[in-house]
């Protein structure tokens, strides 16, 4: 089959790859989730711990994923199979990755739909109410409204499909070249606005001040898990993007740049969100609803509030789009490589299937089977009052079980199973960092697996 297949596409340049990989990494995880978990964990030391997790655990795995893709030129299943000499067991790690990608995209698209909906509401001037109850009610209504959720979920999936259908260079790369600079620009504008608010100083203190007593073992593990999610690791997104990287490109420095950019945006997001939160007397530990239920209140009290609201939610939608593109690309590249489908066919059929898979997630905010019903059902698993609706359940399974499992598989494979000569050559090829090979290998062999096992132990409630 592969003899007849069209030649694999490559990124047009190193910048193209770095932008696409950054687009994958920077998403709802970086802009929405990071400020909220940093807030809940007391900022300061949590941020330091998170930075350590990125540098010591996540970057080595990112290098491993990109190298595996660059060496095999395949999406995850083919990459593991080829590199492991046809082993079915290792191909299974790739399969888990592809399945995880489909699941993540199915619910990620629903949240992305909220951001589109809010951008639309902002642009229409419908977010002008400064009454906290009204804004919270609006979110509760949006969250529970099947029609609104399904509509925006569908809109988002159509946009993702159109981007991916264009191919690696003319679709994925071209859109990222547009989306990433837009995102950085919008972020800078919002940051400039945030620095003029009274709460800016308090926000800086909150995020960067060291509150030693607030960092718990659980917070540390949360930092580690988030490092995976935010850099799109553990399901082969970086293997797939790596498979379009030219042989002589510097994977190590690209990984450092992508992780650095994602971290920078996460920190900037804190400096946009918390000054607003503090200036308008809102609670920093408000949790997942922070953005949707609280920020519109702040926007409504600012001059040109409708404009800021629209810009902020558009920024989130843009970030979510680039991440969703990478997730769909994993599944599409798999079908192209392994089944021999055309890109068009693979994109249309698989995006359609994933959109359908997302329907229960879009219905999770209500009282029905996938909402309150599922929460009751899973209370048996998580304990009374701790049940999760369909959406939260799958997010939990992916972030706490599937991604770490995939990351463990990738680390163990590259560090222990791949031939030493091929591994060292792959690492050194095109890289100015060849002398750090020993450190990378040591981290991948020992620290990374230990850290991931620690996440598992935590997720399964053993500590
Ligand atoms: N990294 C993205 C974010 O921060 C989410 C994401 C996109 C992702 N693709 C992924 C997470 C693949 C895990 C695996 O929002």
**Residue 27 φ/ψ region, left for φ over 0, alpha for ψ in the -120 to 50 degree band, beta for the rest:** beta
Q: Which CATH number applies to 14-459? A: 1.20.1740
- The total of other beta-carbon atoms located within 10 Å of residue 320's CB is 26
Calculate mean pLDDT across residues 14-39: 89
Question: What number does the ligand 1 atom closest to the CA of 235 have?
Answer: 14
**Residue 57 pLDDT level (bands cut at 50, 70, 90):** very high
| Distance between CA atoms of residues 321 and 323, nearest Å | 5
Instruction: Tell me the average pLDDT across 317-328.
Output: 93
Atom of ligand 1 nearest to the CA of 327: 9
Residue 129 banded pLDDT, cuts 50, 70, 90: confident
Q: What is the mean pLDDT of residues 210-233?
A: 81
Tokens for 258, please give them.
């992508």
Distance 209 CA to ligand 1 centre (A): 28
pLDDT per residue as tens digits for the range 269-307: 999 888 888 887 777 776 666 778 777 877 787 788 888
**Cα separation, 189 vs 181, whole angstroms:** 12
Confidence class of residue 2 from pLDDT cuts 50, 70 and 90? very low
If one compares 296 and 110, the residue with the highest pLDDT of the two is: 110
Residue 449 is given by DSSP the state H
Atom of ligand 1 nearest to the CA of 230: 4
pLDDT value at residue 214: 64
* Per-residue model confidence (pLDDT) at position 1: 40
Q: Give the residue, 35 or 237, on which the prediction is more confident.
A: 237
Domain ranges for the chain:
14-459
Q: Which atom of ligand 1 is nearest to the CA of 398?
A: 13
> pLDDT at position 4, please?
45
Residue 127 has pLDDT above 90, yes or no: no
Give the range among 215-224, 245-254, 445-454 with minimum mean pLDDT: 215-224
Q: How many residues does the chain have?
A: 463
d(CA 120, CA 183) in angstroms, rounded, equals 17
Instruction: Compute, in angstroms, the gap from residue 267 CA to the centroid of ligand 1.
Output: 17
pLDDT at 3: 42
Q: Is 50 exceeded by the pLDDT of residue 40?
A: yes
Ligand 1 centroid from CA 68, angstroms: 19
- Report the percentage of the chain scoring pLDDT > 70: 96
User: Please, which pLDDT band fits residue 6 given cuts at 50, 70 and 90?
Assistant: low
Q: pLDDT value at position 140?
A: 82
Contact 277, 217 (CB under 8 A): no
Average pLDDT rounded to a whole number, residues 423-452: 93
Has residue 251 got a pLDDT over 70?
Answer: yes
The pLDDT score that the predictor gives to residue 364 is: 85
The secondary element (H helix, E strand) that includes residue 155 is helix 146-165
Q: How far is the CA of 230 from the centre of ligand 1 (A)?
A: 6
Q: Which of 27, 233, 409 to mutate to test the pocket of ligand 1 (most atoms within 8 A of CB)?
A: 27
Q: How many CA atoms lie within 13 A of 296 on its CB side?
A: 28
Which protein residues touch ligand 1 with a CB less than 6 Å away? 24-25, 27-30, 104, 229-230, 232, 235, 237, 323, 326-327, 403
pTM assigned to the model: 0.91
- Please, what is the average pLDDT of the chain? 88
CA of 382 to the centre of ligand 1 (A): 25
Q: How far is the CA of 326 from the centre of ligand 1 (A)?
A: 8
Instruction: Tell me, in angstroms, the distance from the centre of ligand 1 to residue 130's CA.
Output: 32
């Amino acid at each position: 089959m592969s003899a007849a297949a069209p030649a694999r596409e490559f990124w047009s340049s190193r910048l193209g790859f770095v932008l696409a990989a950054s687009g994958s990494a920077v998403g709802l995880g970086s802009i929405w989730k990071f400020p909220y978990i940093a807030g809940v964990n007391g900022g300061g030391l949590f941020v330091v711990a998170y930075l350590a997790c990125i540098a010591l655990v996540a970057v080595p795995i990112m290098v491993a994923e990109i190298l595996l893709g660059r060496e095999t030129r395949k999406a995850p299943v083919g990459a593991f199979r080829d590199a492991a000499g046809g082993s079915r067991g290792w191909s299974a790690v790739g399969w888990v990755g592809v399945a995880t990608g489909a699941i993540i995209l199915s619910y990620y698209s629903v949240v992305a739909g909220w951001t589109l909906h809010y951008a639309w509401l902002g642009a229409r001037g419908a977010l002008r109410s400064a009454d906290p109850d009204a804004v919270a009610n609006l979110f509760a209504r949006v969250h529970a409204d099947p029609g609104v959720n399904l509509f925006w979920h569908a809109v988002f999936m159509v946009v993702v499909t159109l981007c991916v259908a264009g191919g690696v260079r003319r679709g994925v790369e071209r859109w990222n070249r547009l989306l990433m600079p837009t995102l950085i620009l919008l972020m800078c504008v919002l940051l400039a606005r945030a620095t003029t608010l009274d709460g800016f100083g308090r926000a800086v203190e909150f995020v960067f001040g060291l509150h030693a007593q607030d960092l718990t073992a659980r917070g540390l593990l949360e930092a580690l898990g988030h490092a995976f999610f935010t850099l799109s690791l553990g399901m082969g997104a970086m293997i797939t993007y790596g498979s379009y990287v030219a042989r002589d490109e510097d994977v190590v420095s690209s990984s450092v740049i992508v992780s650095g950019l994602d971290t920078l945006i996460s920190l900037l997001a804190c400096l946009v969100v918390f000054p607003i939160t503090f200036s308008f007397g809102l609670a920093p530990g408000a949790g997942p609803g922070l953005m949707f239920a609280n920020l519109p209140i702040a926007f409504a009290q600012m001059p040109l509030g409708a404009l800021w609201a629209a810009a902020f939610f558009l920024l989130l939608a843009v970030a979510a789009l680039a991440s969703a593109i990478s997730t769909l690309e994993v599944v599409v590249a798999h079908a192209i490589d392994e089944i021999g489908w055309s890109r068009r066919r693979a994109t249309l059929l698989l995006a359609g299937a994933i959109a359908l898979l997302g329907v229960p997630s879009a219905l999770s905010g209500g009282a029905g089977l996938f909402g309150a019903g599922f929460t009751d059902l899973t209370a048996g698993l998580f304990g009374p009052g701790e049940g999760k609706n369909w959406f939260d359940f799958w997010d939990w399974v992916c972030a706490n079980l599937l991604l770490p499992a995939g990351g463990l598989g990738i680390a163990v494979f590259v560090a222990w199973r791949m031939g030493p000569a091929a591994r060292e050559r792959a690492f050194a090829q095109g890289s100015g960092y060849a002398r750090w090979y020993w450190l990378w290998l040591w981290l991948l062999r020992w620290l990374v697996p230990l850290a991931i096992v620690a996440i598992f132990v935590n997720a399964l409630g053993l500590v």
